[in-house]
Amino acid sequence: MCAVPVSLVDDLRGHLAPDRVRAEPLELSLYGHDASIVTGGFAAVVCFPISTEEVQACVRTARAHGRPFTARGAGTGLAGGAVPLGEPVVIVTTKMNRILSIDVDDRVAWVEPGVINLDLTRALGVHGLHFAPDPSSQQACSIGGNVANNSGGPHCLLYGVTSAHVLAVEVVLPDGEIAVLGSLDPEPDGYDLRGAFVGSEGTLGIATRIAVRLTPNPPAVRTLLVDFLSVDDAAACVSAIIAGGLVPAALEMVAGGMIAAIEDFVHAGYPVDAAAVLLVEVDGMPAFVEDAAGLVAEISRTNGARTVRVAADETERQLLWKGRKSAFGAVARLAPDYYLHDTVVPRTRLVEVLRKVEAIAEKYDLRVLNVFHAGDGNLHPLLAFDAREPGVLERVHAAGDEIVVASVEAGGVLSGEHGIGLEKRDLMPKLFSVDDLDAQARLRDAFDPDGFANPGKVLPSGSRCGELQRIPPGVWV
């Protein structure tokens, strides 16, 4: 790494208050990571803008110094998307955390990117509305980060992922221009640049204001905890529920050792001797919910469920969900480190892929725990390990790659909600042909012809037909 030119810091401090432009070694090191186990990032300088104009100034100053820039929200990303490559200017949006407006009639809110996901839903409670995407990190993750990763969450099974809940985004484009992509009206003219932007992991610009769609709270909700003595039965039950013609609001699975880990941690009453539990939620109008809950219970019993527990009240429902959402905290009691994976397989092939994941973990002598969004086939195999053990990280990475390959071979995809980032960048050719990757590179180049926005992410080098990935001059990658 090179010393950060004083002039870069000085120029940024010409636009942002000096205490919001940081270049102390501790901070540079801190912002070199996100929540993933991806290493190798290093920030040149870290900026905390508080307005669109300040974000624009950061982008323009970075460019003027020949530096790339990497946007970052709360840093909860698990694919290394916010790990700074090429010693960029890191632009942190956490101080842009105001809810700007809530329009109850049109069911839309304008928010700044640093608003915490759960804070928005809490602010909407009095209106009987919520923001539907609910990643497990929703207490910490920001809506800007949700937009960048097209985040999901348990309830995306029925409600759809973030893209379905973003109407418009004000962005600072990679050339420093400001534009609003999308519109509050339903059929804006021209290309759906909003759609292209959501999930682009900071490579097409930086969101500075976001218009999100608000979802009415359902009049009725029923939550069931169903347990099985075999993972195969539980997985078959998931397929049967979907095949039964009803789309639950959420359909989650917790398997094996994960159940006891959660139970020890939150005491939610999860049956520790079960091989797998399903957390199923149905919501909507009362008659539908009653029938659907009955149908889920019936299908579960047909598929070998041992017990079906229905949450009696909101307190019990919250407790069951707390168990599910605390899973990753609970793992800390089993092993000091973990690597959380994210792939999607067709829902009818869950049984087969779960078995393969088990076999892969065994082959690499790793412990695998499963807690995932079973209803949409979104696996989250979690490899628990102790990083102090020599050579273990190599095994973890090798097992991770094999899990991705097994998922793709079963007709699945690389990521359901964490994104590609750096973690899966070089696995993209497993899913996409040369022509497919070239098309994605064309889109990226149309937004960012000079390659300044979050370089080195999403697309492997060589994605552009006939040329290497372009790197801005003077950048170390």
Partner 1 sequence: MSVLEVFAEEVGTDGPVVAVGGRTQFDVGGPVEASAREVKAPAGIVEHVAAEMTVRVRAGTTVAELDDALGVHGQCVALPAWDGATIGGVLAVGHSGLRRLGWGPVRDAVLEVRYVSAEGRLVKGGGPTVKNVSGYDLPRLFVGSLGTLGVIAEVVLRTRPVAPREQWFTAEGVDPFALARGLYRVASVLWDGTSTWVLLEGHPRDVDDQARVAGLRTIDASFLPPLPKHRWSLAPAALRGMRDDDNGPFVAEIGVGVAHRELPQPPRVVDPTIAALAARVKNAFDPTGRLAPGRLR
The Cβ of residue 229 has, within 10 Å, a number of other Cβ atoms equal to 14
Q: Which helix (H) or strand (E) holds 232?
A: helix 231-243
Out of 272, 387, 439, 475, point to the residue binding partner 1 (CB under 8 A): 439
Burial (CB < 10 A; 0-12, 13-18, 19+), residue 388, is exposed
Q: Decide: 459 and 468 in contact? Cβ < 8 Å.
A: no
Work out how close the CB of 374 gets to partner 1 at its nearest, in angstroms, rounded to a whole number: 11
Q: Is 466 in the site for partner 1 (CB under 8 A)?
A: no
Q: What is the CA radius of gyration of the chain?
A: 22
Complex with partner 1: residue 41 or 205, whichever CB lies closer: 205
String of DSSP letters for 330-396: HHTTT-SEEEE--EE--GGGHHHHHHHHHHHHHHTT-EEEEEEBGGGTEE-EEEEE-TTSTTHHHHH
Q: Which is nearer to partner 1, 245 or 391 (CB)?
A: 245
Distances (CA, A) of 329 to 100, 334, 337: 32, 10, 11
149 binds partner 1 (CB under 8 A): yes
Contact between 142 and partner 1 (CB under 8 A)? no
DSSP 88: P
Does residue number 188 form part of the binding site for partner 1 (CB under 8 A)?
Answer: yes
Q: How far is the CB of 192 from partner 1 (least distance, A)?
A: 5
Interface residues for partner 1 in 96-135 (CB under 8 A)? 103-107
Instruction: Give the interface segment with partner 1, choosing from 20-28, 51-59, 198-206, 307-315 (CB under 8 A).
Output: 198-206
- From 277, 315, 324, select the one nearest 136 (Cα to Cα): 324
Contacts (CB under 8 A) with partner 1, residues 2-31: none
Residue 277: φ, ψ to 5°: -125, 150
Q: Does 164 bind partner 1 (CB under 8 A)?
A: yes
| Distance in angstroms (rounded) separating the CA atoms of residues 421 and 454 | 10
CB of residue 60 to partner 1, shortest distance in Å: 15
Q: Does 187 bind partner 1 (CB under 8 A)?
A: yes
Q: Is 428 in the site for partner 1 (CB under 8 A)?
A: yes
By CB under 8 A, which span of 17-25, 93-101, 270-278, 440-448 interacts with partner 1?
Answer: 440-448
Q: Is 429 in the site for partner 1 (CB under 8 A)?
A: no
298 lines the binding site for partner 1 (CB under 8 A): no
Of 4, 118, 140, 184, the residue at the interface with partner 1 (CB under 8 A) is 184
**Restricting to residues 205-234, which ones interact with partner 1 according to CB under 8 A?**
216, 218-219
